[in-house]
Amino acid sequence: MTINIFFMLIIHFIEKFYYLLTSLLSEKKCIICGKSHSDLCFVCQNKIFERVKINFFCRRCGRPLTDDFKICINCLNRPIFFELKAARSLTVYGKNQQTFIYHWKFNKKRMLGITAAFKLYDVYKKLYKSIPVVPVPPRKKTNKIEEMNYDCVKDIAFIFRFCFNVKIIEPLIRIDSEEQKYKSFANRIDKSKKRYALKKNHQINSRSVVILDDIMTTGATLEECALLLTSAGVENVYAITLFCD
Ligand SMILES: [Zn+2]
């Protein structure tokens, strides 16, 4: 346990040091406010990851509600979560969150992932502590440039394991290479069976797991993964994501 705290401190230190160093050495600007000399100033960090300050959340998808309806309109009219018990996100996917994702995923600002992982761990700790985490696998790399790229969800999983001793299991593989976000809702559902699969001979020795992803849009990805996991014998499948759209 102490060794994990040690690693946590190191990672935390690296992050702070990185921000300090970049603020001293470079002409970096905060990706949100453009003022500070670091990639993401502390004020904007809070702006991006601040949990929505209302008390009601949909019991299924975790989207914020204005009143205690228990289930949101989406989950009521077009339910998508059958195998997934519940999903929770840090906050909703607004303009600042979009900017954050763009820089983190596509603009080589990989260090932003550390901040994201620490913030998301707070939610994990509160809701699902000690339940093993299953990261959603990335789509297959289709060219050289993509092969050099890092995978954001994998980065978060790494920090979870490295700093907080969270058990990470990887029973899933991605079997297509299409970009999910360009598909329509109907398309996503229709083709869902072909996007992920269970690894052969992978044993999941846990009654509960938490799926980890960056953004929940329709929830189709989470549900598809949940279906595979329950078919492998898992009883309770939950999910956490950074943002919900
Ligand atoms: Zn809902």
13-72 residue pLDDT tens: 777 777 667 656 666 788 888 887 778 888 888 888 887 767 788 888 888 888 877 888
Compute, in angstroms, the gap from residue 229 CA to the centroid of ligand 1.
21
Compute, in angstroms, the gap from residue 72 CA to the centroid of ligand 1.
4
- Cβ 157 vs Cβ 137: under 8 Å: no
Mean pLDDT along residues 216-230:
92
62-105 residue pLDDT tens: 888 888 778 888 888 888 888 999 999 999 998 999 999 999 98
Compute, in angstroms, the gap from residue 201 CA to the centroid of ligand 1.
34
Compute, in angstroms, the gap from residue 77 CA to the centroid of ligand 1.
10
Compute, in angstroms, the gap from residue 216 CA to the centroid of ligand 1.
11
Compute, in angstroms, the gap from residue 102 CA to the centroid of ligand 1.
26
Q: What is the pLDDT of residue 203?
A: 84
- If we measure between CA atoms, which residue out of 228, 79, 120, 3 comes closest to residue 71? 79
Compute, in angstroms, the gap from residue 76 CA to the centroid of ligand 1.
7
Compute, in angstroms, the gap from residue 94 CA to the centroid of ligand 1.
17
Q: What is the pLDDT of residue 192?
A: 47
Compute, in angstroms, the gap from residue 62 CA to the centroid of ligand 1.
6
161-207 residue pLDDT tens: 999 999 999 999 998 766 555 555 555 555 545 789 999 888 888 99
Q: Which of 71-80, 145-154, 187-196, 214-223 reaches the highest mean pLDDT? A: 214-223
Compute, in angstroms, the gap from residue 63 CA to the centroid of ligand 1.
6
Buried b (16+ CB within 10 A) or exposed e, 156-167: bbbbbebbbebe
Q: Evaluate if residue 145 carries a pLDDT over 70.
A: no
Compute, in angstroms, the gap from residue 147 CA to the centroid of ligand 1.
35
The CATH number assigned to the domain with range 47-244 reads: 3.40.50
Compute, in angstroms, the gap from residue 209 CA to the centroid of ligand 1.
20
Average pLDDT score, the chain: 84
Distance CA 18, CA 225 (A): 35
Q: What is the pLDDT of residue 149?
A: 77
Structure tokens at 66: 């204005």
Compute, in angstroms, the gap from residue 79 CA to the centroid of ligand 1.
8
Its pTM stands at 0.83
Q: What is the pLDDT of residue 67?
A: 80
Distance CA 36, CA 191 (A): 44
